[in-house]
Chains A and B, each alone.
Chain A
């Protein structure tokens, strides 16, 4: 670890550096994660946003080796969990981390639970695996967890099977499983996407509440900007397997610097004011990268594109305190007013 940085790094519970993940397919390689750097502090809620296929989920699954290999291959980088590089960890150590120190919540609660085992068994599994509790203690812990995530009559529901729970309740069970061993980091991969809005609000409340109580760091993957605005401390915007902008939540929404972030924010329909003629979209498709990017991945869809964008891939540069963006255009550095004036 470099000497100069120790002060700030010691605070980070998770530190990801220069992560590259590649999928080998029959028609060639797909570079899904390209040189991703980010860090998470204890107790912080980091939102990760981007379109489908921008590499959000793949990045997070790369961290703890959850991608099927083959075809996926984490080619280089460092994933430091409290200073320990998970990419170099042994498979046994990685299993200790999964479910123990890093909890994972998945998108679809309907399919993420095993249909043939009762939820008690599924919650107790990580508890017994990581905390070494006996059956009775694990059962007590499972009841406590179900209470914590707000499932009424917890003790009576341990013997129920997933199909006896509604979608929202199943997601609570998933959260209980992820929280079972008091993880340092909770990675939530679009946990509310498959739920309807009222249930989504309840889940958000539970997560927010648990963060206060348990003080763990949360990485929240979503493509719902409204959710991010409501709960995140800091936001990463991903595009083409790269982080294109990183900022605390208020600057990101008030003063986005990357053209992609701006376009993304424009797509959110407003409930107040005059109704827009039609829904805003970002024209075009996100790229599928057959090689490591050598130019800006957003260039084909960018309204501000110019020569340099085709020649070089812009690095992330600090544009304001705690705010960086990967864009060559001058407006990225100067902020919103200038951008609008020049546009």
Chain B
């Protein structure tokens, strides 16, 4: 079934050898499809190992056979019957006007209160964002951006998506509905109001079960462009979702964010830079002592930054002091950076999705802090790499995540690679998504000259690992 592949992906693979092969960079070997055992045995979750590539055609029949076998396997996989059990069929109804209470329930809403209370235990209304708490005029209690409701929700999908209203209907955001429709898990029907008013007026039954299903084309036409859902955002959403990640909309989803009430004086206009340490010596007794000590330590210092030499012509006691004197250029310190403000960011450079790894225990009602934060850019709108202010503001809108832990303390390179803040840019170039992790790695915070030990490992050792460094 269509769900099984996702299950196979979610299951942690316990073979370390498989992790080493970069799956994304290889061409698909479709012959392995016919050996994927989830078709027969969905419980085992190991992926097969691939063979090696042929780089050019040769006249052997063997190669031709391999090729045709591969093609055949692909065809077999595509021709595999995908059965939709009517028992598992999920039907959703398109609501072009946004969330509305069901018309027939308005009169008898008192009766459903008990039912609703029961349902809150299993699927309480999701309020992932503060805005969604804000009730719209219709009092449904879900985000006003949802546009498809599922009257009888069942199945695994609603653990991680959708928001339930008081009548136990689950409302889906456009990207959720489109994703489910695209993978064949949801059947969206046109609402009776759009089919024709006569069927609506005749009986209440027709509102429950409108009969015209929505085509994929129609779904794309209806949902893309609705409530900020661009095609780029949807390709990122569906791509990561298919890989097993959980995604929810981040506060930066909307281009227009109401200005926060914070005073502009405290906002990010002020620049903080660490001054060279020599400039921080203040007056007073400590300063005098310091100067005397400095004289004792370095009696003939002629250090001058005006025309050099910065290091001075006198006697140098150790290299660390020389390096400290050389620190002239201010650098950005992410720790003392101004408080993050969402309104400093400019529209495409905002965090649009919060992404959770499949292993993270995710609760719809109380989403944990995300594993990754993703901003989606389209190369056609934003033709060049972001400038410093754009990228800087984007990074400052993420929480500080300094490198911590034993490993980080030991390994300098790892610390620098991890950075103090990080964000993922999803760069969508006409449907091709490339992800870039951008980290604020303050090199200025790592004084290499103070490090006791040199680089880990010798040159020769690293080379023997098969790397191509020169």
| Chain B associates with chain A | no
